[in-house]
Amino acid sequence: MAVGLKMHKIANEIINERISEVVDNYDFEKQIEINPNGCPLYQQNQKCHNIEDLNCFFCYCPKYDRTVKEGKCKIDSPKGKYIEGIDGKIFDCSDCDYPHKKENAIKLFDNLFR
């Protein structure tokens, strides 16, 4: 467990067995049906990222670095850019779809427990 989470072996096995199932549950189309009030965009059937098979498990990216005032990307996504904000520049990653692809969401989720 790289993150340092000490979990009981059985709990870790259950999580590892169900990662795909949990992430699948956050498929955009599935969320519209089972959780229509979970996001204002679900009610409008509108995606925040225009990609096929949008996955909403990570509504925000855990790879966004908030340790610096202007923010930055921990994976150096080429789709990110700095824009002018209220208090100066800020890293804008709204064009990046990395955490919203099922295979990447599974990797990110899996990394939390290894």
pLDDT in tens, 59-76: 888 888 989 888 899 988
Q: 65 or 94: which carries more pLDDT confidence? A: 65
Q: Which two tokens stand for residue 61?
A: 């990216």
**Residue 70 in contact with residue 91, Cβ under 8 Å?**
yes
Residue 7 confidence (pLDDT): 67
In the block, residue with structure tokens 């509108």: 46
**Residue 2 pLDDT:** 44
At 77, is the pLDDT very low, low, confident or very high (cuts 50, 70, 90)? confident
Which element (helix H / strand E) includes 91? strand 88-92
CA distances from 39 to 22, 42, 77 (A): 18, 5, 25
**pLDDT tens-place string over residues 14-50:** 888 888 898 999 999 999 999 999 988 888 898 888 8
Residue given tokens 């089972």 in the structure block:
34
pTM over 0.75: no
Query: Packing angle between helix 9-24 and helix 102-112, nearest 10 degrees?
Result: 160
Count of CB atoms situated within 10 Å of the CB of 55: 24
Q: Are 80 and 90 in contact (CB under 8 A)?
A: no
CA separation for the pair 67, 47 (Å, rounded): 28
